[in-house]
């Protein structure tokens, strides 16, 4: 007597010693197999000396206020500008954006561009390298004070110092040169926005960097500028994803080419 064996939900039936491929009709929900478990990223690694490991090449989705969508909370920033700042904004035009002269944008603007960054670490230091407007930041992570006043001078990226708050690196940044914007001319959250986002030399930024898991890095910043803003501006959290490369590229910005040409050469 022939024995009939049917493996329910499987693709093979054995009938009388012969093997046959079975195909379930499309849309047939009967005898469904259990769904495979969702794959989750590995836990965030730590450095050999015990700190959360932020190192790697990272990239976030570009954020801003364009096409009727404000994905970087810029409407709130625009409302904070003082009367003096608005007077300056009335004199400046989008063509005055320092980035159009290849001047490097400071964070948090650099975090919203959607270009790759690279972070490396060693004991008591983290280094943040940017592919767009090639720059680097050297950030002490041991909580030491800012650079002594006699050696401190204003720069585009400011003077950073940091310490760990649990798994979050909290970075305090001061000593800006007043020649960086907080967003780009194309970022216009309202119908009356001018696309001008200036800062003063009193700019003060507190950043929070946290590696969520092996493939995810989060960034958030609080921006204060007593000369230009009536209160603190909180950015949304920027989510960076780990990239399958071990270093960023060299793509130089030449003023004669213009910033638009430069950014088009980036991945």
Which residues fall within 8 angstroms of residue 82, CB to CB, at 6 or more apart? 227, 228, 229, 230
Only one residue has tokens 């478990």, namely 37
Q: Are 197 and 182 in contact (CB under 8 A)?
A: yes
pLDDT for the residue numbered 255:
75
Name which residue leads in pLDDT, 252 or 78.
78
Calpha distance 203→225 (Å, rounded): 4
For the chain, domains (ranges, CATH) are: 1-33 (no CATH), 56-264 (2.40.128.20)
- Which phi and psi (to 5°) does residue 262 adopt? -60, -50
Give Cα separations from 179 to 41, 156, 182, 259 (angstroms): 40, 7, 10, 16
Length of the chain: 267
| Model confidence band, residue 26 (pLDDT cutoffs 50, 70, 90) | very low
pLDDT for the residue numbered 15:
37
* Torsion sign across C-alpha atoms 68, 74, 76, 82: negative
* Average pLDDT rounded to a whole number, residues 79-107: 95
The three-state DSSP-derived secondary structure of 161-216 is EEEEECCEEEEEEECECCCCCCCCCCCCCCCCCCCCCCCCCCCEEEEEEEEEECCE
| pLDDT one-digit tens code per residue, 149-183 | 999 999 999 999 999 999 999 999 999 999 999 99
């Amino acid at each position: 007597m022939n024995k009939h064996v049917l493996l329910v939900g499987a693709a093979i039936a054995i009938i009388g010693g012969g093997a046959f491929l079975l195909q379930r009709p499309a849309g047939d929900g009967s005898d469904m197999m259990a769904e495979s478990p969702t794959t989750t990223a590995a836990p965030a690694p730590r450095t050999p000396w015990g700190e959360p490991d932020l190192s790697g090449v990272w990239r976030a989705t570009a954020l801003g206020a364009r096409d009727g969508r404000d994905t970087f909370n810029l409407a709130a920033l625009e409302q904070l500008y003082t009367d003096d700042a608005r007077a300056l904004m009335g004199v400046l035009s989008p063509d005055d954006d320092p980035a159009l002269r290849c001047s490097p944008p400071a964070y948090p603007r650099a975090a919203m561009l959607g270009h790759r960054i690279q972070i490396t670490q060693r004991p008591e230091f983290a280094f943040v390298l940017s592919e767009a407007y090639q720059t680097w930041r050297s950030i002490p992570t041991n909580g030491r004070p800012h650079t002594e006043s006699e050696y401190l001078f204003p720069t585009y990226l400011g003077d950073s110092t940091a310490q760990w708050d649990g798994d979050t690196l909290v970075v305090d940044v001061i000593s800006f040169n007043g020649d960086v914007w907080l967003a780009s001319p194309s970022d216009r959250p309202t119908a009356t926005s001018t696309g001008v986002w200036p800062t003063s030399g009193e700019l003060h930024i507190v950043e929070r960097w946290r590696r969520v898991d092996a493939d995810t890095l989060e960034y958030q910043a609080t921006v204060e500028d007593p000369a230009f803003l009536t209160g603190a501006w909180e950015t949304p959290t920027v989510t960076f994803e780990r990239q399958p490369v071990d270093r960023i590229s060299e793509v130089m910005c030449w003023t004669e080419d213009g910033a638009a040409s430069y950014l088009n050469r980036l991945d």
